[in-house]
Structure 1
């Protein structure tokens, strides 16, 4: 039998830290955060045995860490701590990585994998899905411009905790990292005829209005994805996936530690 988590009052710890930490919403977000070195001071679940069984089946590499960390709380307590209960009934708070370290990673040259730039994104779930894709391809990072907070809990939920596997920051267009900027645009050159360099910035406009004038003016290249006539557009995450796959399939290295 597994001993209960040692913290006698995880709920008071949660209330003390909430608002200054990143909410990890669900088992998979916590799993990924632990895998990629996040500092997690508190984690709760309504069923420790079920959560640890899930870890044993899907993530044995983090089971011991979860065993030491997870505290069981009543369902009513759990639902009071999170904005929207997750089907796995697991939640945690993590320390956000230092901005200075992320900026150093984003600006360091030479760079062996691209940076994804989301120009004025609007949809929190789409932004999370992009971060998940970028982490999967080993991208250096994801930068957003505009008002959307890329560390909003809904974005972190959509990214399944993979914010901790890449550098995620919000910057102004004039603060973007160095490197040739390839911006996706229907009027651009067909991507199938291009090889995207490893140090590229790959920029995608908002779901509604496309690229901002400021980013378009900063772009070195406009690039288009193949699309059937009369189809309006692709989903943002789909566009990013197609572009990163093209980069990796034409010489990029998707499995970068």
Structure 2
């Protein structure tokens, strides 16, 4: 029996699956239990050497999973080639699983809410931050798909480390909602509870009227006068760090790359 054609396998799964673009996205997805039916690389030796250096914990899995294809074939599968010349497809977690995680109480870590975000890369960076801080999940409102390939690329495969869903404001999970707003109370004087919803508006238009009406607290980040705003991911990082530094909360101590 001959080995299956990796490009034929790729075409079979491309529709329903999520693109993992690059070695690091694949590494993270595997670490957090993603089902990966196909993975290809234009340089198998280099990819496994990266695994030896940066991800020995998944090296064996990668050895059995990665199939080498020509550089031209690899480039035909991705929007733009990644420097590591690795790509894979992963099965997206069922929506019911994400909703169940978000709704479960009591929560031991917050949910980050991105209110009508616009920038795909920023949304991915926020998901990467959320995974690093061990939050319960990331929810987007509005039209942006948090599982868009560009968001997954920005998140470096860490969508599989936290719940990621798109909801209407009325569908947000329970818990006190702290919304970031320049007119709010200084974050430095507040304690953010573990079950908080931490909501961030878009850089251009801020919080939507609907989200603001749902908020229990308006919170402001310290900022020098005449500076308009922080980048969305920077705002999330500052807020999550404030939460994590308040008590026994800790980001995962694992120092793997």
TM-score range (shorter-chain normalised) is over 0.9
Once the two structures are superposed, the pairs formed by residues 1-257 of structure 1 within 5 Å of their partners are 7-251=3-247, 253-255=249-251
Runs of at least 4 residues off by over 4 Å: none
Q: Partners in 2 of 1:129 and 1:242 — Cα distance?
A: 13
Q: Partners in 2 of 1:29 and 1:208 — Cα distance?
A: 29
Q: Indicate the RMSD between aligned Cα atoms, in angstroms.
A: 1.1
Corresponding residue SS for 1:53: helix
Given the two structures, how large is their TM-score scaled by the length of structure 1? 0.96
Deviations 1:61-101 (A, max 9, x none): 00000000000000110011111111100000000001111
Given the two structures, how large is their TM-score scaled by the length of structure 2? 0.96
Q: Partners in 2 of 1:126 and 1:256 — Cα distance?
A: 22
Q: CA deviation at 1:7?
A: 4.2
Q: Partners in 1 of 2:189 and 2:68 — Cα distance?
A: 55
Bigger shift: 27-36 or 15-24?
A: 15-24
Q: Partners in 2 of 1:19 and 1:188 — Cα distance?
A: 44
Whether contact under 8 Å (1:142, 1:169) holds in the other structure is yes
Q: Partners in 1 of 2:250 and 2:169 — Cα distance?
A: 26
Q: Partners in 1 of 2:248 and 2:163 — Cα distance?
A: 19
Q: Partners in 2 of 1:255 and 1:231 — Cα distance?
A: 30
Q: Partners in 2 of 1:165 and 1:36 — Cα distance?
A: 5
Q: Can you give the 5+ residue segments of structure 1 that lack an aligned partner in the other structure?
A: 1-5
Q: Partners in 2 of 1:220 and 1:229 — Cα distance?
A: 26
Report the number of matched residues.
252
Whether contact under 8 Å (2:26, 2:87) holds in the other structure is yes
Q: Partners in 2 of 1:213 and 1:71 — Cα distance?
A: 50
Q: Go from structure 1 to structure 2 and tell me whether the alpha carbon gap of 1:7 and 1:150 turns closer, same or farther (over 3 Å shift).
A: farther
Corresponding residue SS for 1:233: coil
Q: Partners in 2 of 1:204 and 1:235 — Cα distance?
A: 11
Q: Partners in 2 of 1:255 and 1:83 — Cα distance?
A: 33
Partner of 1:3: none
Q: Can you give the 5+ residue segments of structure 2 that lack an aligned partner in the other structure?
A: none
Deviations 1:95-144 (A, max 9, x none): 00011111011011100000000000000000000000000000000000
Q: CA deviation at 1:255?
A: 3.1
